[in-house]
Amino acid sequence: MGQISNQIKNKQVVHKAAKIGAMLFILWSILHLWVGFEGIHQYFSGGASGLWNMLTGGVNAPHLAFQNTSDTLTANVQAHLLLNFCIDVAGYGVLGLVVGWYLWTRASWIAYFLGVLIIGIADLAFLFSLVTPGIIELNAGSLGGPVIWFIACLITPFGLPKLDKNAIS
């Protein structure tokens, strides 16, 4: 009985802001899991040209001006590289689900820091290397992920326990 009461006493309270942050990380994850599934779909249905169509369209890489290779070997290499990119994006989505779950259930600072740092690297690299230079189209889908991540990073700490050595879990 004493062990159960100690577990209850040591359990972190998850406040509303942490739960909102968790939901935002989960929403972010769903968007990124979709990229992986759509990439797999494009790989099998359209090959390299389908993947390029999915991942271009910005002002500096418009669909009508983009020229797909006619070389089979080059197209195969491109298709596999783009498929790998899409699956990696989905992998970040899985990480976001884990972050969201730990925030929702444990108000975890470690989960929060993983969400800020690792997901931040992924999202900001995407934003500054593909969207800002106009390779990928700037739209709600391409801007939505970084915006959702940023809002989650801002809101979540207000629902986490006071940051001290005992709160890191």
Tens of pLDDT along 158-168?
A: 999 998 776 56
**Token output for 66:** 């983009």
- Distance between CA atoms of 98 and 25, rounded to whole angstroms? 9
In a domain, 84, yes or no: yes
> What pLDDT is stored for residue 163 in this prediction?
85
Judge contact between 88 and 97, C-beta under 8 A: no
- Distance between CA atoms of 124 and 134, rounded to whole angstroms? 15
In a domain, 51, yes or no: yes
Q: What are phi and psi of 150, to 5 degrees?
A: -60, -45
In a domain, 63, yes or no: yes
Total number of domains constituting the chain = 1
In a domain, 1, yes or no: no
> What pLDDT is stored for residue 109 in this prediction?
96
Judge contact between 155 and 24, C-beta under 8 A: yes
> Whole-prediction pTM value?
0.89
In a domain, 168, yes or no: no
Q: Domain range spanning residue 45?
A: 23-159
In a domain, 139, yes or no: yes
In a domain, 97, yes or no: yes
Q: Residues 111, 116, 117, 123: is their CA dihedral positive or negative?
A: positive
In a domain, 18, yes or no: no
> What pLDDT is stored for residue 6 in this prediction?
45
Q: Which residues of the chain, if any, have pLDDT below 50?
A: 5-8
